[in-house]
Structure 1
Amino acid sequence: MIDIRSGPQVCGELAGGASREWLVPDGRGGYAMGTVSGLRTRRYHGLLVVAGDTPASRRVGLVSLDPAVTLPSGDRVRLGAHEWSSGIVDPRGFERLEQFALVDGVPRWRWRIGDVVIERELAMAYGRSCVAVVHRLVSGGPVRLDLAAVCTWRDAHGERRADGPAPRMEPVAGGAIVEGAFRLAGPDWTPEGQWWLGVRHREEAARGLSPEEDLWYAGRFSGALDKPGDTVSVLAWADGLAEEPPPATGLVEAARRRNRAVVAAAKPTDAVEATLALAADAFVIRTAFGPDVVAGYPWFGVWSRDTMTAYEGLFLCTNRADEGRELLRAYAATLSEGMLANTADTGRVEYNTADATLWFLHAVNRHVTATADTDLGAELLPLLQGVVEAHLAGTRYGIGVDPADRLVTQGGLPGMALTWMDARVNGVPVTPRAGKPVEVNALWVNGLAGLAELTELTGRDATALWGLHAQAAASFRRRFPAPVGWLHDVVDAPAYPLGGAARHDDDLLRPNQLLAWSLPYAPLEPDAATLRRIATGLFTPLGPRSLAPDSPGFVGRHRGGPAERDSGYHQGTVWPWLIGPFVDAYRRAKLPVDDLLVGLEGHLGEYGLGSVSETADGDPPHAATGCPFQAWSVAEFLRVRRTR
């Protein structure tokens, strides 16, 4: 894997150390997450964040373990870090950090106090809501180490205040159970029970959200570090509270071994692919219903569009086809009226997407093509044929096939945003794309051809499907090329605001058209001159912008409160996942692609360490935004590197 480490100039200065984040997943949708500096900058940061009934319904438990070292002289040095409502950062333990590193995916901090050097390593027990934190004396000593256990128990998207009831504390051997939800265990436990008021999260302030909360100082653990090699360890876990996990040092070593095995199973060809293979592993989880995919950390749960877009990169490029097969079967069971369930993150199962189902057709075809798993193809074939039939007949939200040209039209209902550009402000779509979007129809043409091939592989007649594919492809080639020199983003778009009779074709320069050249059964043959023109308007080192800078409505900075951020979400913001279709289109046009990936390779050490962000600013220097760890960003980067 690539070497990810930071020295004292990054660790000890908040602009650097607090802007680089690490993630340790538990394989169930929960995680530990924080910054290189140790300063919690998000409400979502914590050492034990527990997934609930769905991956999105997470709760924060153990917030931090703040170290304090008592030296032989009697001096006490605090190594934690908190920002307060006053803006003061105290303590400032990051100023004692001489290095942070990710070693086989395990974060390691190294503090120096004169000749005393203490390391911390942190890991989660895979498949359990359990975190192990190990502190080791590297040199110097003897010293005594105190660890202040700072806790809460709340929804990850909110805050908890001292004006409510204090967390319930139940004493148990070696520690305490907090709120009946999670347990702390370690050496020489001393209960405290005190509110820390006004802890501030600077990233939430920047996002226009409530930035402050009150935290509960539950108590402290203490241990002696007499000689190099001595350790003081703490465990926190939220399942099987009566049963203590294995020793923390063993859990750290087990995590390191597992991470190495995950990378080896993917058979990477270089350090970047190895890093991406481990990054991909963070998103593949197992729930009570089988394998699934977290769309992004720290705030997303499961979204079928993201899952199916990321499928090839997460499963086929990492040799996890058996898990992928199980996932595809489970998702097929959610089909209703020819549509794949979109998400349950909102609290109910929703089907409000025009493209997730077509990405599902693509994922199944790629799985069968890559694995020769024709048994799965035969099993799912009736359901996939039902998707086509439902689209021909018309289904929810105005999604259906126009009998005049055999292209998919969708939307037209107030407040609906059914493509991946689905941001809304006050219930109004920011990028209204009702009509016939270019990527939806590229996926439709691609899906029909893939399904026809699958039908033939199972010994059935596919004449009707090939005929429908030929009609749709011919209409695509006729309808989407625009006089400006690229493809229309939407054709037959209704007047907006809705209600007018006039329809028009939208020729704004957006990246959605890349799928018309990139998919395996793409409707168009690539044209080098057109792709270069698109690259000039859209390409950045982290991938394509969602809108060209010279277009009306372009937003170059993805910043501010929720409404401001949503207003720019697809109006110029960079989306790294689009590197996949961009590179594929370039390759098909026989244009050079290796230089297109250099920026993303450097990005692996800049924001979400070892991973790829959800978004970035459209304007230079293209600072990363959104989730620091995003599934389809990682998956598409890995996929196009593996298929060189």
Structure 2
Amino acid sequence: MSYLRFDKTLMVNLEESLPREILRTNKSGAYHCTTIVDCNTRKYHGLLVIPVPELDDENHVLLSSLDETVVQHGAEFNLGLHKYQGNNFSPNGHKYVREFDCEKVPVTTYRVGGVILTKEKVFVHYENRILIRYTLLDAHSATKLRLRPFLAFRSVRSYTHQNNQANREYTETENGIKTCMYPGYPELYMQLNKKNDFHFIPDWYRGIEYPKEQERGYDFNEDLYVPGYFEVDIKKGESVVFSAGISEFSTRKLKRTFEYEVADRTPRDSFYHCLKNSAHQFHNKQGDFHYILAGYPWFKCRARDMFVSLPGLTLAVDEREEFENVMMTAEKAIHNYINNSPLECRIYEMNDPDVLLWAVWALQQYAKDTTRDQCRSKYGELLKEIIEFIRLRRHDNLFLHENGLLYTNGLDKAVTWMNSTTEGRPVIARTGYIVEVNALWYNALCFVADIFRDGDYATFAKALDKQAEATAQSFINVFRNEYGYLLDYVDGNMMDWSVRPNMIFTVAFDYSPLDRLQKKQVLDIVTKELLTPKGLRSLSPKSGGYNPNYVGTQRERDLAYHQGTAWPWLMGFYMEAYLRIYKMSGLSFVERQLIGFEDEMTNHCVGSLPELFDGNPPFKGRGAVSFAMNIAEILRILKLLSKYNL
């Protein structure tokens, strides 16, 4: 039985099938995302969603969906599905679905009377093109297939409505047409691998609704333009391939291209392979630049997310070259930032105070995957440059105090990963001495000192040792309280006693100012108050302001974002910390914790992990459908476990 297979019973039950989504990307920023019954429930959903850099820095939905109709003896059976006002779904094509399987590529099998038809979708790597292959497995009489494209040509952050400005003109191409609704957009080429008839019957389908946007407190309806439909004969045993892209394609090559792309996919036949496939989807190659997208469908390349994700998305799946490619781009961004020159690449939030420290942590993982000598040879100058930039107080919001701790102003702008804001102000104004920033700082000092200990930079290493010694003593004096856990941040007389997960990094990192007993006390508090099957809570239920459900309007969700919701990526550091304390005896516990994430492979975004979960049962997945840091950290822990099990 397939690892990711859904039968007819689930597929025809929209309460079960609509919450399950699928995501496919081309590793260059474009994607296809919808539900497993091909009913779009978000404004971000679409068959072909691509960046259009000539317009802006957003993705744009060109082809929203494609309705298939099976025609036999003049009778039409429409396999499409859309939601309209009043909770009305039409044309209810999901009732013909027999099963859905996405082990290698998404495959939907339909049964209409004596007709059995499969639909397979694949995104061409590094090209803005989606291919759909229809295969008629069985039919007792002549069969036609009609394909009706629903066009949007709009940003993922807006909607389109019926208007007179939309261009209805089209031009015939090889076995298809090309069209463009608005100036500035690329032309959309829709072609089939065999001759067909295109029937030009332009119309707007009005009032299509997106319930996920309604849940999130946004506008949720739009109109989509349908220029007509393609009609093609299909025989029993025959396959027909449909292509949608922004350039013309040789239709003779469509079948071969489809088969090549399918063969290039790793089957999602296990928990690990699901995560590995998902990891690949965050890669975004633009020319010579290699990025890591923070998540789908709305995140861009954010510096902190990139560095936290990088080891898990590359080294943990034995793709060291990909790590080096991304780091090559990141290194340019770091140099641009440090030298106060314009950024050459599109990496956002480089100026957040913990970003450079997370970059050091990522390189530390590279050193463990290779050798310290290789890391020093390849990235030694970069590491030295980062440490000196901070030590010389050149960062505009990272101030090294005489006590050896780093001070950050977070009153007016959110400066850590807990970055939710409302009305222009941080929801959690973490400011002053922030616990994970200083844990990162101590870890960075010790790591860089160790790799420079021998050779020409021994004096530099000794200076870092001295700095680390002062930092360690101050860290314990400032953060550790009489209850055995760590304060989240301290600013003068202001001490945040909230039990938050940020203290777990001090236990997880290779270098820590805490001794073993102190680490265990921190781990025990985190286990008792923050641990859930889906990650660590961002706030303890015993702390004031606990708000575990990420629901409601944008403001309501912003207020709940880091006030009790559970985050899977934190679980990676928690499990690493647990293994540091309990070693081999902790293996079975860590393996049991991973079960909660394997359960998610058939929920939410199939084969991936969402951004966050509610902090209370039933721990429902929320936010972005696929989140890079979550995938990365679970993969990193699986790699760590494999070393213990050798």
1:416 paired with 2:413, answer yes
SS of match in other structure, 1:317? helix
Q: CA RMSD in A?
A: 2.5
- Aligned partner of 1:505 in structure 2 is 495
Q: List per-residue Cα deviations over 1:452-494 (Å, max 9, x = no partner).
A: 1232366521111122122212222232212233111112x2x
Q: State whether residues 547 and 570 of structure 1, in contact with CA within 8 Å, keep that contact through their aligned partners in structure 2.
A: yes
Residue correspondence of structure 1 range 266-415 to structure 2 within 5 A:
271-335=270-334, 350-372=349-371, 374=373, 377-403=376-402, 405-412=403-410, 414-415=411-412
1:538 corresponds to 2:537: no
What is the one-letter code of the residue matched to 1:211?
A: F
2:168 is the alignment partner of 1:176:
no
1:368, CA displacement in angstroms? 2.7
Note closer, same or farther for the CA distance 1:370–1:245 as it changes in structure 2 (3 Å cut): farther
Residue number among 553, 557, 573 corresponding to 1:561 in the alignment? 553
Residues matched between the structures, number: 620
Deviations 1:345-397 (A, max 9, x none): 99995434121211101111221331237456335333322322232333455
1:191 aligned to 185, 189, 200, which one?
Answer: 200
Instruction: Render the CA deviation track for 1:473-529: whole Å, top value 9, x for unaligned.
Output: 2222232212233111112x2xxxxxxxx6322120111111000012233245445
Instruction: Pick one of 238, 251, 257 that aligns with 1:251.
Output: 257
Distance 1:457 1:600, change over 3 A: farther
Equivalent runs, 1:416-435 vs 2, <5 Å: 416-435=413-432
Report the residue type matching 2:278 in the other structure.
Answer: A
How far the C-alpha of 1:246 sits from its partner, in A, is 6.3
What is the SS of the residue equivalent to 1:224? strand
Query: What's the CA shift for 1:139?
Result: 2.0
Distance 1:350 1:344 in 2: 11
Say if 1:167 and 1:216, in contact at 8 Å, map to a contact too: no
The structural deviation recorded for 1:602 is 0.6
Deviates more, 1:602-611 or 1:348-357: 348-357
Residues 188/507 of structure 1: CA separation in 2 closer, same or farther (3 Å cut): same
User: Which residue does the alignment assign to 1:95?
Assistant: 95
- Measured against aligned partners, the alpha-carbon deviations of 1:24-69 in whole angstroms (never above 9, x if no partner) come to 1111011111101111001111111112339962111111110111
Q: 1:378 to 1:605 in 2, by over 3 A?
A: same
Is 2:605 the counterpart of 1:604? no
Q: Specify the alignment match of 2:81 in structure 1.
A: 81
| Structure 2 unaligned regions, length at least 5 | 181-185, 642-646
Give the residue type in structure 2 aligned to 1:230. E
State the shift of 1:243 in Å. 4.2
Give runs of aligned pairs for residues 51-130 of structure 1, distance below 5 A: 51-53=51-53, 57-72=58-73, 74-104=74-104, 106-130=105-129
What is the identity, as a one-letter code, of the residue corresponding to 1:505? M
CA displacement at 1:245 relative to structure 2 = 6.4
How far off is 1:253 after superposition? 2.2
Tell me what 1:497 maps to.
none
Q: Does the 8 Å contact 1:361/1:384 carry over to 2?
A: yes
SS in structure 2 of the partner of residue 554 of structure 1: coil
275-284 or 178-187: bigger deviation: 178-187
Structure 2 residue 149 is matched with structure 1 residue 149: yes
d(CA) in 1 for partners of 2:15, 2:409 = 43
The one-letter code of the counterpart of 1:633 is N
AA in 2 matched with 1:411? N
Distance in 1, Cα, partners of 2:24 & 2:94 = 20
Aligned equivalents of 1:58, 1:38: Cα separation in 2 = 20
| Kept after mapping to 1: 8 A contact 2:62/2:154 | yes
The 3-state SS of whatever aligns with 1:38 is: coil
Q: TM-score if structure 2 supplies the norm length? A: 0.91
TM-aligned CA distance change 1:279 to 1:50, over 3 Å: same
Q: Secondary structure at the match of 1:280?
A: helix
Shift of 1:553: 1.0
1:256-284 CA distances to partner (integer Å, 9 max, x unpaired)? 221229x8xxxxxx922222111111112
Instruction: Output the CA distance in 2 between the equivalents of 1:99 and 1:340.
Output: 56
Q: Which amino acid aligns with 1:382?
A: E
| Percent identity of equivalent pairs | 27
Matched AA of 1:251? T
Partner of 1:490: 489
Residue 230, structure 1, aligned to residue 227, structure 2: no
Query: What is aligned with 1:514?
Result: 504
Aligned equivalents of 1:171, 1:535: Cα separation in 2: 63
CA–CA distance in structure 2, aligned partners of residues 141 and 27 of structure 1: 41
Q: Secondary structure at the match of 2:260?
A: helix
**Structure 1 residues 61 and 345: alpha-carbon distance in aligned structure 2, compared to 1, 3 A threshold:** farther
In 2, the alpha carbon distance for the partners of 1:289 and 1:168 equals 37
* 2:398 partner letter: I
User: Aligned AA for 2:215?
Assistant: A
Partner of 1:576: 568
- The CA deviation at 1:622 is 0.6
Offset of 1:630 from its aligned partner? 0.8
Q: Provide the secondary structure at the position in 2 that maps to 1:152.
A: strand
Residues 112 and 345 (structure 1), Cα distance of their counterparts in 2 relative to 1, 3 Å cut: farther
Q: 1:311 to 1:340 in 2, by over 3 A?
A: farther
When residues 277 and 245 of structure 1 are mapped into structure 2, their CA distance, relative to the original with a 3 A threshold, is farther
Q: 1:221 to 1:359 in 2, by over 3 A?
A: same
User: What letter corresponds to residue 602 of structure 2 in structure 1?
Assistant: G
Mark the runs of 5 or more structure 1 residues left unpaired by the alignment.
264-269, 494-501
Cα gap change, 1:337 to 1:197, in 2 (>3 Å): closer
AA partner of residue 27 (structure 1):
K
Distance 2:252 2:456 in 1: 53
Aligned twin of 1:478: 477
Q: Which amino acid in structure 1 is aligned with residue 58 of structure 2?
A: S
1-structure distance, mates of 2:347, 2:166: 31
8 Å contact kept, 1:488–1:505: yes
